[in-house]
Structure 1
Amino acid sequence: MDRELGLRRGVESRLEFIEFRLFWEGHVNRSDLVEVFGVSINQASTDLNRYLGLAEANMVYDKSARTYVRSSSFSPVFLKPDAGQYLAQLRSLSDGVIAADDGWIGSLPSFACAPTPARGVSPKILRATVTAIKRHEAIEVFYQSMSSPEPAWRWIEPHALVFDGFRWHARAHCPRSGAFKDFVLSRIAETRASKSTEAAGSADREWEEQVELKIAPHPELSAGQRKAIELDYGMEAGVTTITVRRALLYYALKRLGLDTDPAARRPQDQQIVLLNAAEIRSGERAGGTSEAEGAQYA
């Protein structure tokens, strides 16, 4: 919509912000634009008037409150309201990724997130890894492997970054073992050299292959409980499909609580089951890799 209107990106962002505030907060005024974007009062007025010109029915001016408020006929024009985006901002605030002034949420609701340990990824290590990925190079890293008592220098040939829901890894070919493995970024203490490499990410079979996980509510839950789980996971006809790279299958199953026998826990605790577990196991045998080996920790 914005591109079709021929608007500059900065203007687009401010119009999207106006709509974000109208949808989530119910009101927006010039000071909001000034505080978030650092524009002048005159520019903020221009933006609000531009929004009115493009979506006149979406807001009205409340003289007593001296602010624009969402109208009863509000219909988004510049963005699709996204609960995930709103909650992601709350999570980013909780993790200290962004400051309250940098987010688009005006009045924060009371909230809390379960804490996760801070991961000490060095900016220089991350930069070196990203550079190696972009340049298709190998880098020499001083790495602490859990299979060795002391850290050591070794070459890795990274082709992607991986987040397992807890830690960041470099997905890389390991010349020492001849296999693709996941190297935990926080365990790389130093880098000291780089060189060209013949290893290609396309040779990483587990990375290239997509696996579909067919998830359903635990059959031993009550009808009401199953319905709740269907809503939790956005299921249709009692099933949802999650697509994941086979290289991340180990992490995905563990995070979903599907890495153990579903009978090992109460249905109310297990909540979901993997309908195509046999198919996935068959695919692992065909590839010659087990779940644990598929993660290939270094």
Structure 2
Amino acid sequence: MEISRAQASKDINAYISDHPDHLFYDKSARTYVMGAGFTPHYIVIDPAEHLESLAAVAKGASVANADWLVDHPDILRLSLPARGLDQAIVRAVIHACMQKRSLEITYQSMSAETPSRREIEPHALAHDGFRWHARAFCLKDQVFKDFVLSRMMQAALGGPATRAPEQDREWTETITLQIAAHPKLSTGQRRITELDYGMTDGVAELVVRKCMLYYNLKRLGLDTCPEPRLPQDQHIVLRNADEVFAALGRKGP
């Protein structure tokens, strides 16, 4: 919503009157800037959310209230290989999820030498940080599992799904990861690690859906035993490793 210059000036002056020393006019820059005593009074912006918005704007994406993002520093992100996503297949998967229908796919898994025909019932999408998956019931294996979208070679909508998303226990159930700084770090290194991961009383708790547990552990470097790695390379450890790995059906590292 646009406002007039006169209304904007009135609002700024009212703010300065209510909160002296929080805002002042910089004549050289010809704009209002924050004063040394500035603190937010009306909204609190999450720093991580703000940085994500800046990164999205830098990529040319549409971001809500982007007009308020005045300062745009240069932003770089990792260069990752583009995933081979087929438009028609992605559309078919989304339609199957929304319309509660089955999907007949030709799928190349890494456990088989050649593609095979599968009938699945997708109900959701998930991203592991690198790849997109369809969370679906597999009629062949009679279990809910993940199917990598880029490994689907063909996809065609089928009849009504026979399973409800609520039956996917690994999708509905969660587990909490208790993350702490590596005990072999120095006091200063542990302190900065606790700040880096937003820990409270030396612990950060991360609630994870069980179907995403493996991907989360791998992304955090917690999927293997930390002992062979230097603490300076693997900054964090899992305090409740036995409970977490039991959820994966195996012993902790």
Query: What's the TM-score bracket when you normalise by the shorter of the two chains?
Result: 0.7 to 0.9
What is aligned with 1:52? 12
Structure 1 Cα separation of the partners of residues 7 and 122 of structure 2: 45
Letter in 2 for 1:185: L
Counterpart contact for 2:182–2:236, Cα < 8 Å: yes
Q: Which deviations, in whole Å up to 9, do the C-alpha atoms of 1:102-129 show, x marking residues without a partner? A: 6754443244222111123233332322
* TM-score, length-scaled by structure 1: 0.72
Q: Partner letter of residue 153 of structure 1? A: R
Q: SS state of the match for residue 262, structure 1?
A: coil
How far the C-alpha of 1:59 sits from its partner, in A, is 4.4
Task: Using the TM superposition, give the Cα deviation of residue 183 of structure 1 relative to its aligned residue in structure 2, in angstroms.
Answer: 0.8
Q: State the match for 1:87 in structure 2.
A: 51
Which residue pairs with 1:143 in the alignment?
107
What is the CA distance between 1:235 and its match in structure 2? 0.8
Do the aligned residues in 1 keep the contact of 2:181 with 2:236 (CA within 8 Å)?
yes
Kindly provide the CA deviation profile for residues 54-81 of structure 1, in whole angstroms up to 9, marking residues without a partner as x. 7454645555544333345544355322
1:220 paired to 2:184: yes
Q: CA deviation at 1:141?
A: 2.1
Structural RMSD (CA): 2.8
Whether the 8 Å contact between 1:55 and 1:77 is mirrored in structure 2 is: no
Quick check: 46-55 or 229-238, which moved more? 46-55
Unmatched segments (≥5 aa) in structure 1: 1-10, 12-38, 292-298
Query: Which one of the candidate residues 61, 84, 102 is aligned to 1:98?
Result: 61
CA contact (8 A) 2:101 2:157 kept: no
1:45 alignment partner AA: R
Write the mapping of 1:116-127 to structure 2, written as runs, cut at 5 A.
116-127=80-91
1:130-279 alignment to 2 at 5 Å? 130-279=94-243
Which residue of structure 1 lines up, in the alignment, with residue 245 of structure 2? 281
Aligned to 1:31: none
Q: Structure 1 residues 270 and 66 mapped into 2: Cα distance closer, same or farther (>3 Å)?
A: closer
SS in 1 for 2:213: helix
What residue number does 1:27 align with? none
> Relative to 1, partners in 2 of residues 1:127 and 1:275: Cα closer, same or farther, differing over 3 Å?
same
Aligned residues: 245
Q: Is the 8 A contact 2:92 2:157 kept in 1?
A: no
Q: For the structure 1 residues 182 and 268, does the alpha-carbon distance in structure 2 shift closer, same or farther, using more than 3 Å as the test? A: same
Percent of matched pairs sharing the same residue? 43
CA distance in 2, matches of 1:53, 1:225: 46
Q: CA deviation at 1:207?
A: 1.3
- Check whether the contact 1:137–1:196 (CA below 8 A) recurs between aligned residues: yes
**In structure 1, C-alpha distance between the alignment counterparts of 2:156 and 2:14, rounded to whole Å:** 55
- Unpaired runs of 5+ residues, structure 2, are none
Whether the 8 Å CA contact 1:216–1:275 is kept in 2: the answer is yes
Q: Does residue 114 of structure 1 match 2:78?
A: yes
**TM-score of the superposed pair, with normalisation by structure 2:** 0.83
Q: Name the aligned partner's letter for residue 260 of structure 1.
A: T
CA–CA distance in structure 1, aligned partners of residues 184 and 55 of structure 2 = 33
Cα distance in 1 for partners of 2:96, 2:188 equals: 51
Taking the aligned partners of 1:184 and 1:104, their CA distance within structure 2 comes to 37
- Quote the offset at 1:255 in angstroms: 0.6
The answer on whether the counterparts of 1:210 and 1:243 sit within 8 Å (CA) in structure 2 is: yes
Distance 1:250 1:46, change over 3 A: farther
Structure 2 letter corresponding to 1:195 = G
Q: CA deviation at 1:277?
A: 0.7
Bigger helix share: 1
Closer, same or farther in 2 for the Cα pair 1:155/1:51, shift >3 Å? Answer: farther
- Supply the distance in 2 between the matched residues of 1:50 and 1:127 (Cα, whole angstroms): 50
Greater mean deviation of Cα atoms: 203-212 or 61-70: 61-70
Distance in structure 2 (CA, Å) of the matches to 1:281 and 1:150 = 32
Cα distance change on mapping 1:290 and 1:130 into 2, 3 Å: farther
Tell me, yes or no, if the aligned pair for 1:89 and 1:103 is still in contact at 8 Å. Answer: no
